Amino acid sequence: MKLHIRNMVCPRCIAAVRDLLEQESIRYTSVTLGEVVTESNIPQGKLKTIDQGLKQLGFELINNRQQQSIESIKNIVIRKVHHEENALQQQKFNWSDIIAETLNQDYKSLSRLFSSVEGITIEQYIIKQKIEKVKELLLYDQLTLSEIAWKLGYSSVAHLSGQFQKVTGMSPSAFKKQSQPHRSFIDQV
């Protein structure tokens, strides 16, 4: 049985869901961002208990197929931007191909669905996630802006700076100089 779960964005989220499943004696074969594969079907009563436990942790079971597709798209983007080191540096990195191949669906259909439900395009969502990663890396203060641009697959520092300015309303250096820079939670981007 496959469960789709909203708001799983990091390895700690995966650990929390694993802990819940183990508390409820649910045997699983895999737990990844946004998805759990169990060894067998879960009885309806137990499924309600799991749903309640997930809600207490800030997660939510997704039963609607369209919402599952949208959450899968978000998880692909989050995994590539925030969790896979150097994933965006590949020369021929193409988001539409990766999303379509991973979900085994037509990208145009996925893009229309995402836009109609989320109110932004997949491309805008990717940019917002990348800008959140830029903010994180700027605050760590371990990489230059040029290194951050390269790490996140930008063609140049100017391209990164332009997108950063457009999304945040300030330059990367102005963001870094703030006494309390604002960052968003990944699942709220």
Residue where a domain terminates, one of 42, 63, 84: 63
Q: Which of 137, 35, 120, 37 is nearest to 81 (CA)?
A: 137
Question: For the residues 56-79, what does the mean pLDDT come to?
Answer: 93
pLDDT tens-digit readout, 32-46:
989 999 999 999 999
Stronger pLDDT, 92 or 172, i.e. the higher one: 172
Flag whether pLDDT at 94 surpasses 70.
yes
CATH at 29 = 3.30.70.100
**What mean pLDDT, rounded, does the chain reach?**
91
Average pLDDT over residues 183-189: 70
- As a whole-number percent, the residues of the chain with pLDDT over 90 amount to 76
Q: Are residues 59 and 87 in the same domain?
A: no
Do 139 and 168 reside in the same domain of the chain?
A: yes
**pLDDT confidence of residue 98:** 94
Considering the domain architecture, whether residues 76 and 114 belong to the same structural domain is answered as yes
User: Is residue 79 scored above 70 in pLDDT?
Assistant: yes
Shared domain check, 104 and 41? no
Pairing of strands 35-38, 28-32: antiparallel
Please list the residues that pair with 4 across neighbouring strands. Answer: 35, 62
Residue where a domain terminates, one of 13, 36, 63: 63
| CA distances for 35 relative to 77, 107, 120, angstroms | 15, 21, 23
Structure confidence by residue, pLDDT tens digits, 137-179? 999 888 999 999 999 989 899 999 999 999 999 999 999 888 7
Our count of domains for the chain comes to 2
Per-residue tokens: 140: 């760590």
For every residue of 25-71, which 3-state class applies, written as one string?
CCCEEEEECCEEEECCCCCHHHHHHHHHHHHHCCCEEECCHHHHHHH
Domain hosting residue 15, numbered range = 2-63
Mark whether 136 and 46 lie in a shared domain: no
* Statement to judge: residues 120 and 38 lie in one domain: no
Say if residue 11 is in the same domain as residue 99: no
Residues 147 and 76 in one domain: yes
